[in-house]
Amino acid sequence: MADEAKAKGNAAFSAGNFTDAINHFTEAINLAPTNHVLYSNRSAAYASLGKYSDALSDAQKTVDLKSDWAKGYSRLGAAHSGLHHYDDAVSAYKKGLEIDPNNEGLKSGLADAQSAQARSRGPAAPPSPFGDAFSGPEMWTKLTADASTRGYLQQPDFVNMMKDIQKNPSNLNLYLKDQRVMQALGVLLGVKLSTRMPEEDDEMPEASTERKRPAETEHVKEEKRPEPEPEPEPMEVPEEEKEIKEKKAKAQKEKEAGNAAYKKKDFETAIQHYTKAIELDDGDISFITNRAAVYLEMGKYEECIKDCDTAVERGRELRSDYKMIARALTRKGTALAKLAKSSKDFEVAIEVFQKALTEHRNPDTLKKLNEAEKAKKELEQQEYFSPQIADEEREKGNQFFKEMKYPEAVKHYTESIKRNPNDPKAYSNRAACYTKLAALPEGLKDAEKCIELDPTFVKGYTRKGAVQFFMKEYEKALKTYQEGLKLDPQNQELLDGVKRCVEQINKAGRGDLTPEELKERQAKGMQDPEIQNILTDPVMRQVLSDFQENPKAAQDHMKNPLVMDKIQKLINAGIVQVR
């Protein structure tokens, strides 16, 4: 099973066997190809081996599968940094921080990437005549925000051209013949550029080919100025064309009347006006989609779906704007999602929303797709929910755990969780398995979930404390054990955990750590954001200097409990040693 292969991969990774980890993660991906965490883990393993191209591919897949997961952008930034793509690395870290602004890993990665970016840049290039219009992620933000260029970002050739221009703005001259680039340039500069050239079959006013207006003629001597030619007679509009224009004008008036009725929630009247508009002009599918919206509001979902299908079919024939096609598909998907509440079939609605997004990536459509997928998942969970089977699976997991067959135990605990996601015992037991497999991050996550489900479940605190202890985060483990003792002061497992943590913390204070232990603890401490903040604090740097050079000032500092708390943290991390 995928979870079993993933657990093996995590164990191999923790042991530094990155090649084995890649093999296990690949096996898990083959079993669960849409699990974003698996690609993320394999990306980390590739990066650890210096295979940054493979790491980049997996990181990009992670982001594609789950674009709102901050860790995916951390993987993406790391891979780009490994390949010396520092601009892309900075962009990836910034996207991740938009999702999780307080993520210390992303902040650290961004700082490193920006530093490398500055070092990698050679002598400044001549200033671009367009300023910084093409610089940084702001370019993509502007192109995405503007309706006239948003669709171009779905076209790979346009994206590649813009990337090339962004790297070297002087390459703009190579692409000026492409109207999309000209349109993008106008958006970036905040000006309206004319990008449209008349096609061979475009209609041009007759008068424009016969003569120039006086203001456009060259200056000539007054005595030789030719007499102005008479204005051409207006062309007579054919009767048939005149009738079509009149019908279109009437259809627009009917549409406006329908819109007004819709706003007043006079749905029957709105339908009458939209129907009349459709009869007058079958070349505008907005009349059909508007009527579909009324049917949707009235709860007449079948009629809505029928109108949307007609709008899509007619829109294809007329080569209507892709946004109009997407709107019709979105309304159809909305109607199908409403019907799915009784039919329990969300799959067809999801499929229609996905088709709409291929036409135009609209945030509203994406939101409706996410809601439909969430509803489908909740429905599946409800149908799968069975506390009785969950207990049976948990007992099977317990038996395998006793036999020290931990991957098999994980499999049954996972099934138990699927059958009853609200049982803290299953999370607690799986956390114990992950700890045995050295898959410590997964074990910590399960232990925290166990406590979240039942804050009074003491076993959750022993599990969490054990994981933190094995991760050598002794202060955090001590805090966890102490929280558990508030619930059960006589719990021997918690008391033993406190004792072990205190012993490890005091080893640093007494200077009893071996050189290897000290080096390992210092390296781990330097990765802790709290330790980093203490060391970069100007006040604390002065305090540390006083402890070495000014004993009197040091005595004053020792009276400050906040300062001493920070000093103790540095001692526990092995950064400061007491002799």
Q: pLDDT tens across 327-372, in order?
A: 999 999 999 999 988 877 889 999 999 999 998 888 999 999 999 9
Q: Read off the pLDDT band of 378 (50, 70, 90).
A: confident
- Under 8 Å between Cβ of 274 and 294: yes
Q: Read off the pLDDT band of 511 (50, 70, 90).
A: low
Residues 6+ apart with CB under 8 A from 192: 186
Q: Read off the pLDDT band of 225 (50, 70, 90).
A: very low
Q: What tens digit of pLDDT does each residue of 109-154 get?
A: 888 788 778 877 654 445 555 556 676 566 776 777 777 887 887 8
Backbone angles phi, psi at 218, to 5 degrees: -70, 150
Predicted confidence at residue 28, as pLDDT, reads 92
Predicted confidence at residue 568, as pLDDT, reads 76
Q: How far is CA 410 from the centre of its chain?
A: 29
Predicted confidence at residue 197, as pLDDT, reads 36
Q: How far is CA 344 from the centre of its chain?
A: 29
Question: Residue for token digits 């439909």?
Answer: 372
Burial of 164 (0-12, 13-18, 19+ CB in 10 A): middle
Q: What tens digit of pLDDT does each residue of 461-509 get?
A: 999 999 999 988 888 999 999 999 999 999 999 999 999 988 887 776 6
The C-alpha atoms of residue 42 and residue 476 are separated, in whole angstroms, by 28
Residue bearing the bigger pLDDT, 205 or 103: 103
Average pLDDT of the chain, as a whole number:
83
Predicted confidence at residue 561, as pLDDT, reads 86
- Neighbour tally for 504: CB within 10 Å: 19
- Neighbour tally for 236: CB within 10 Å: 7
Predicted confidence at residue 238, as pLDDT, reads 60
- Under 8 Å between Cβ of 507 and 518: no
The C-alpha atoms of residue 39 and residue 30 are separated, in whole angstroms, by 11
DSSP label at residue 101: T
User: Would you say residue 169 has pLDDT above 70?
Assistant: yes
Q: Read off the pLDDT band of 239 (50, 70, 90).
A: low
pTM: 0.38
**Span 181-193, average pLDDT:** 74
Predicted confidence at residue 206, as pLDDT, reads 34
Q: What tens digit of pLDDT does each residue of 438-470 get?
A: 999 999 999 999 999 999 999 999 999 999 999
Residue bearing the bigger pLDDT, 142 or 93: 93
**Span 312-320, average pLDDT:** 89
Predicted confidence at residue 305, as pLDDT, reads 95
